[in-house]
Amino acid sequence: MPENSVTAAADLVVRGLTVSVEDKEILRGVDLSVPAGEIHALMGPNGSGKSTLAYTLSGHPKYTVTAGSATFGGEDLLALPADARARLGVFLCFQYPTAIPGVTTVNFMRAALRAQGKEMPAREFIRRLNEEMAALKIDESFRARYINDGFSGGEKKRAEVLQMAMLRPRLSILDETDSGLDVDALRTVANGVNRLAGPDMSVLVITHYPRILEYLKPDRVHVLNQGRIVTSGGPELARQIESQGYEPIIGPVAAQTAHSHTSLTGVVAEAQA
């Protein structure tokens, strides 16, 4: 780690965040604080706006903020372009990582570090890359493969966490990084995150399953529904959701709407019959 890098975590404070995508309002006043060094989980039905929040915080240009604020360490995140937010130490593990044919994993990692002013001598870079790959149980052959190109779902998620481990962000947002991982990979990835979490890195973990939270042990669990945080609690909230679903929290009608994609599947099946 170069001496000049800022390594301490900082407070993330989101207030009344309202966000539209293609003129459709998705987030409707999100209030969320992740104090420096804490691990918070964000849960919520499909389509509730979790990824939208993650993309908005990382500065994806498709998302238009129409009201509210988001600060990290007191800095106005929303005033900064995506690359400046990354340099500030905000990192997003994508729900759907994209392949970049022609760019090897090793070159991608080097370019990512360079873009954030975290370059290091070649030997140190290779040593650290090998170390982090071993910790994440990623085979050495992946260094020379094009990033995410033909990677399995679980391999892509591990490549995201490898990038996180190399960049050492101050806030990591993990968007369903646990989805699609087998039980052993889940433990490996969770250990990889745990190793970095703490005074140097806060974590916002978006998930549908309490299992990863058994490893990451969140300080708080928040539930997003229809673009708003509707409840927050301790880790027991995740277990309650697992056993009882969202209905006790958001009500039967809302839960029904949230699962309308399930009934749509039924309609399609019927139409095909």
Binding interface with ligand ATP (CB under 6 A): 21-22, 24, 26, 44, 46-52, 62, 95
| Shortest Cβ 208–ligand ATP spacing (Å) | 6
Whole-angstrom Cα distance, residue 38 to residue 9?
Answer: 9
Q: C-alpha dihedral over 209, 210, 216, 217, to 10 degrees? A: 150
| Shortest Cβ 45–ligand ATP spacing (Å) | 7
| Shortest Cβ 66–Mg ion spacing (Å) | 20
- Helix H segments across 80-220? 82-88, 105-115, 122-135, 153-167, 183-196, 211-216
Decide which of ligand ATP, Mg ion, none touches 123; Cβ closer than 5 to 8 Å per partner kind.
none
| Shortest Cβ 103–Mg ion spacing (Å) | 25
CB nearer ligand ATP, residue 95 or residue 194 = 95
User: Count of alpha carbons within 13 Å of 153, Cβ hemisphere only?
Assistant: 9
Decide which of Mg ion, ligand ATP, none touches 100; Cβ closer than 5 to 8 Å per partner kind.
none
- Using H for helix, E for strand and C for coil, what is the string for 36-49? CCCEEEEECCCCCC
Question: Per this entry, what is the length of the chain?
Answer: 273
Whole-angstrom Cα distance, residue 224 to residue 244?
Answer: 16
Phi, psi for 5 (deg, rounded to 5) = -75, 140
Decide which of Mg ion, ligand ATP, none touches 233; Cβ closer than 5 to 8 Å per partner kind.
none
Whole-angstrom Cα distance, residue 25 to residue 43?
Answer: 19
Decide which of ligand ATP, Mg ion, none touches 159; Cβ closer than 5 to 8 Å per partner kind.
none
**Which of residues 18, 48, 51, 177 is near Mg ion by CB under 5 A?**
51
Position 187, amino acid = R
CB nearer ligand ATP, residue 10 or residue 250 = 250
Site for Mg ion in 88-127 (CB under 5 A): 95
Residues that bind Mg ion (CB under 5 A): 50-51, 95
